[in-house]
Amino acid sequence: MSPLDIHHILKKLPHRYPILLVDRVLEIEHGKRILALKNVTINEPYFVGHFPHRPVMPGVLMLEALAQAAALLSFESGGAGITDDSVVYFVGIDGARFKRPVEPGDQLMLEATIDRAKSGIYKYKTRASVGGETAVEAELMCTMRRIA
């Protein structure tokens, strides 16, 4: 499938600045995998306090970026069951390992692959990398719900 730009992402995800953490989808295979991009810039509000002398992207935000990429994969793969009031929630994180810091100027590549789907719970194998070097990897579990 062709890449998804920010306009399409904004239609699918409920997140907005400063929590929207996916800038572009580069590749997507329906029901299988996604490759997305987060441009990390010094203008991000969390760099003011994390850390002023050596700014690094908080690990929890790297995991959130991976979850947003996984949610986009779910929305693009879900078909007719997905409506405008659908939202994807975290239900678990397993095996999170941080391998390198992510700094302003980095391009964070976000990869998520559907490992399994059962009883409305989706499990993804995820990895974020910079220049081919792993920054974080984790198994994420999410569920899709409708909001009122």
Instruction: Yes or no: say if 91 and 139 are a contact pair by the CB < 8 Å rule.
Output: no
Provide the strand spans (E) within the chain: 24-29, 33-39, 86-98, 107-118, 121-130, 133-146
- Asked whether residue 1 is assigned to any structural domain, the reply reads no
The boundaries of the domain holding residue 133 are: 6-146
Quote the number of domains for the chain.
1
pLDDT in tens, the chain (148 residues): 668 999 999 999 999 999 999 999 999 999 999 999 999 999 999 999 999 999 999 999 999 999 999 999 988 887 545 677 778 889 999 999 999 999 999 999 999 999 998 888 899 999 999 999 999 999 999 998 888 6
- Asked whether residue 83 is assigned to any structural domain, the reply reads yes
Q: Which CATH number does the domain housing residue 110 bear?
A: 3.10.129.10
Using the Cα atoms of residue 107, residue 132, residue 135 and residue 56 in order, give the sign of their dihedral: negative
Q: Which residues are identified as catalytic?
A: 50
Query: CA dist 45 to 65, 66, 96, Å?
Result: 15, 19, 24
This prediction has a pTM of 0.94
- Asked whether residue 85 is assigned to any structural domain, the reply reads yes
- Asked whether residue 136 is assigned to any structural domain, the reply reads yes
